[in-house]
Amino acid sequence: MVANSKLYLIGLMVLLLALTSCRSKDDRPVSPTPMAPIQSEIVRKPASIDNVEILVSDSVPPQVRVKVLGILPNNCSSIDEIIQIHEPDTFKIEISVFDRSSPECGSEPVPFQEFVTLDVAGLEAGSYAVDVNGQIIAFTLQDEQLTDTGGAVISGRVWHDLCASTETDQGNSLQPSPGCIELDDGRNMANGDIDPDEPGLEGLLVELGEGTCPATGLAVTITDYDGLYLFSGISAGQYCISIDATMIQNAVILEVGEWTHDSGGDPAGNTITISNGENRSGVNFGWDFAFLPLPEVDSFTCTNGAKLVEDVTIPDDFEVAPGEVLTKTWRLINSGSCSWSNGYGLVIVDGDKLNTVEVIQVTTDVAPGEMIDLSAQLTAPLKPGTYRGEWMLRDPDGQTFGFGTQSNKPIWFQIVVSE
C-alpha cells in the first residue's frame, strides 16, 4: 500500500512538470508597451496668398513695397522665410510657411500680412512685374519719380518704444524694465527715447501736409524695414509730418497702444519749419504697444492662474429654445505669472458638451494681468431640462488649471431648455 502511494505521488509530480513545460508563451504576463507621445507633423510648403498690392511712395527716389495678404493653415503655423529674386523686369518673391499639424493646433486657418521692400535702386523708368508665389501684379516707374529735383529733405524714424515688465527674484510679482517711466496715474509707459535694440516699425504710412498740424494732402510715404521714412524735393516753408494710428493700413500694424514721442495726440504730428536745401532728420515717432513685449518670466518657475471677470453672454439659467444655437463668452484675466500664448486653451472637463469643441484655443499673447474673451458655440438639446458644462484652462504641457485662490475651480455655462 505504501509502495503504491509512493508510485502515485511520483506520477502526479511528473504530470505537473509536464503541464508546466507545455505552457504557451502567450500565457505569460506581458509588460504593456508604452505608447509613443503624439508628435506634431511639421511640413515646409509655399504660403497660400490671397492678395498682393503695390505701394509706391512719393519720395525721390521712391520706396516700392509689396503688401501680401495670405492664410496660415492653423494657429501653430508660422512664416518660414521670404526670398526676393530680382530678374531684369520681374521681382520674384517666394514665401514659405511651416505647417505644424496636431490636434492641439486645430484646423481653423489664420490670416497673415507681410510687407516686402523691393530693391529698386538704379532702376530705369518703365514697367515691372512682381510675382508672389504665382500671383503676378505690375507697377510703373516714371522719369520724374527717379530724378531728384533738389530742395529740402525731411526724414525720421518710427520705432517700437519698448516698455516691458520682468519677473522679480521672488517670482510672484512684476517690475517695469529700464525703458519704462511711471506716469502720475501710476501706470508705466515707454520713455520716448530711442534706446539700443529698439526696433523700427515697417509698413506705416506717413503723411506730409503744408502748414501747422493737423495738415495732410501734400505727400505720403511708407516706413522701411527699420522704420525709416523720407520726404525730398521740398520747398522752404512750414510743414506737418503726421501718422494716423486709426487709418486701416496703420491700425493693423500698431494694434493697441499709444504714442510716446512728439505725438501731440492722434494723429501724431510734428510741425516743423524748413529752409531751402535743408536736410532735416530726426523727426521721429515712438509707439508703445499696450501688450508688447510680453513680460519676461521663467517658464520653469512661473505659475498659471486665472480669474473670471464676467460672463459676457449667457448668464446662468439662461432660458433657450430646443435646438437653439448660442455663443457663450467668458472674460478672463491672467492672474498668474506665466504668459499665455498659442499652446494654451480652454477645455471642457465635466458636464454637458452641447456639440461644442473640446478645446478653445488662445490665439493671442496674454501677459500676466491682461484680459481675454474666450467663446464656445453651443447647441441646445431638444429635450427640455437644465444643462451645465464645466471648463478649465490647459497649458502647453497638457496640465489643467482653473480659477480661485488655488487655481483649481472651473468656470461653466448653465442653460435651461424650455418645453
pLDDT band at 267 (very low <50, low <70, confident <90, very high): confident
Q: What pairs with residue 72 in β-bridges?
A: 110
Question: Quick one: pLDDT band at residue 175, thresholds 50, 70, 90?
Answer: low
Question: Rounded to 5 degrees, what are φ and ψ at 340?
Answer: -95, 145
Domain with CATH 2.60.40.10 in the chain: 152-289, 306-417
- For residue 60, pLDDT beyond 90: no
pLDDT at 277: 83
- Mind listing the pLDDT tens digit for each residue in 1-49? 445 555 555 555 555 555 444 444 444 444 444 444 444 467 888 999 9
pLDDT digits (tens, 9 = 90+) for 110-139: 888 888 888 887 888 889 999 999 999 999
Mean pLDDT of 368-387: 89
pLDDT digits (tens, 9 = 90+) for 213-265: 989 999 999 998 788 898 988 899 999 999 999 988 898 888 888 898 655 45
Residue 176 pLDDT grade (very low, low, confident, very high; cuts 50, 70, 90): low
Rounded distance, CA 278 to CA 319, Å?
71
Q: Is the alpha carbon torsion for 274, 279, 253, 165 positive or negative?
A: negative
Contact 395, 338 (CB under 8 A): yes
Q: Comparing 117-126, 298-307, 358-367, which segment has the lowest mean pLDDT?
A: 298-307
- Measured in whole angstroms, the distance separating CA 6 from the mean position of its chain's CA atoms is 85
Look at 157 and 40; give whichever has higher pLDDT: 157
* Cα gap 153→231, rounded to integer Å: 6
Q: What percent of the chain has pLDDT over 70?
A: 80
Q: E strand or H helix at 3, and its extent?
A: helix 2-21
Give the pLDDT score at 207: 95
Gap between the terminal Cα atoms of the chain:
87
- The domain 152-289 is placed in CATH, from the list 2.40.50.40, 2.60.40.10, 1.25.40.10, 2.60.120.10, at 2.60.40.10
The position carrying cell 522704420 is 227
Kindly report the number of other CB atoms within 10 A of residue 226's CB atom: 13
Of 154-163, 171-180, 252-261, 387-396, the poorest mean pLDDT is in 171-180
306-417 CATH: 2.60.40.10
Mean pLDDT score, 356-381: 86
Cα–Cα distance for residue pair 254/352, rounded to 1 Å: 41
pLDDT at 358: 83
Torsion of CA 312, 316, 321, 325, to 10 degrees: 40
The one-character DSSP state at 105 is G
Contact 95, 46 (CB under 8 A): yes
Q: What is the rounded CA–CA span in Å between residue 86 and residue 203? A: 21
Give residue 415's pLDDT band: very low, low, confident or very high (50, 70, 90).
very high
Report the alpha-carbon distance of residue 132 to residue 380 in Å, rounded.
46
Q: How far is the C-alpha of 77 from the C-alpha of 46, rounded, in Å?
A: 12
The whole-angstrom distance between residue 347's C-alpha and the CA centroid of its chain comes to 21
What confidence score (pLDDT) does residue 116 get? 86
Q: Is the pLDDT of residue 92 over 60?
A: yes
Q: How far is CA 129 from the centre of its chain?
A: 31
Q: What are phi and psi of 2, to 5 degrees?
A: -65, -40
Query: Which backbone phi and psi does 398 adopt, to 5 degrees?
Result: 85, 5
